[in-house]
Amino acid sequence: MTRPPGADRPLYTRIAASLKSRILAGAWAPGERLPGEEHLARTMSVSRGTIRQAIAALRDAGYVASQQGSGTYVAARPPIEPLTPRSGPVYTGFLDDLDDEAAHVEERRRTQQTYPADGAVAADLRIPAGSPVTRYRAVRVRHGAVYGVASDIVPASVARQITPDVLDHSPTMVDALSAAGRRVAESLQRVEPTLLDAADAEQCDVAPGSPGLALTGVAYDDERTPINSYTLTVVKGYGIGLLLTRANQPG
């Protein structure tokens, strides 16, 4: 997972990241025309030149296409599949402290199971329903304290590259994927409140029904191929840093 562009990055890259977040959150559907440069410049409080640079960056990355005299449109098939809004707010964001956590987080009591993908997982991973996938489940620990439960579902073709030796030497599944040659380049996740079921509650040593935060999403490799449909359920009280953008405004 990558961090959003910080204040030290050029303004147009931050604007491009914001526009991409809206595209991926479903604010504009594939093929839909983006608002004009003047409108975007006014609503985002930047110059039209900055908007043009941001759109050019998105165009180079394959998220939009421009038509002479017509405007700019969301690509028919963006490199990353947009979220389909469900009930409640939709957010795009990044785990802003993941880089810092990397040296302190590990997964314990890891299990794995191979089974046919249902429709939802198949859609996330862009594979036919019924295709074999492998799910890895583990308790997430930071500085020795349990803070949640991770579930990572990968296509069987990817799981075959995650050998027992790779798994044994990887603190997290993100590390295992990288060691197997499938580095996670980008992720898109949804953040929602949840209640821990009995199985997750037992793993985290809390009561069933305890409140938590569920981060569900899809991770993509350098080729923008989906390689992991994941859920990280975080227990109440764990201070995880999040930079979130509300994508579907009410009304």
| Residue 72: predicted pLDDT | 94
In a domain, residue 167? The reply is yes
In which band, very low, low, confident or very high, does the pLDDT at 143 lie, cut at 50, 70 and 90? confident
Tell me the residue range of the domain where 24 lies: 11-78
CB 204 within 8 A of CB 148: yes
What CATH number should be reported for the domain holding residue 169?
3.40.1410.10
In a domain, residue 131? The reply is yes
In which band, very low, low, confident or very high, does the pLDDT at 215 lie, cut at 50, 70 and 90? confident
What CATH number should be reported for the domain holding residue 36?
1.10.10.10
Domain match, 168 and 196 both: yes
**The domain boundary residue, chosen from 53, 78, 103:** 78
How many CB atoms lie under 10 A from the CB of residue 51? 25
pTM (2 d.p.)? 0.67
Alpha helix segments (H runs only) across the chain: 11-24, 37-44, 48-61, 98-101, 119-125, 156-159, 164-168, 173-179, 198-204
Q: What is the CA radius of gyration of the chain?
A: 19
Q: Tens of pLDDT along 71-88?
A: 999 998 888 776 654 434
Q: Tens of pLDDT along 145-204?
A: 888 999 999 999 999 999 999 999 999 999 999 999 998 887 777 777 888 889 888 888
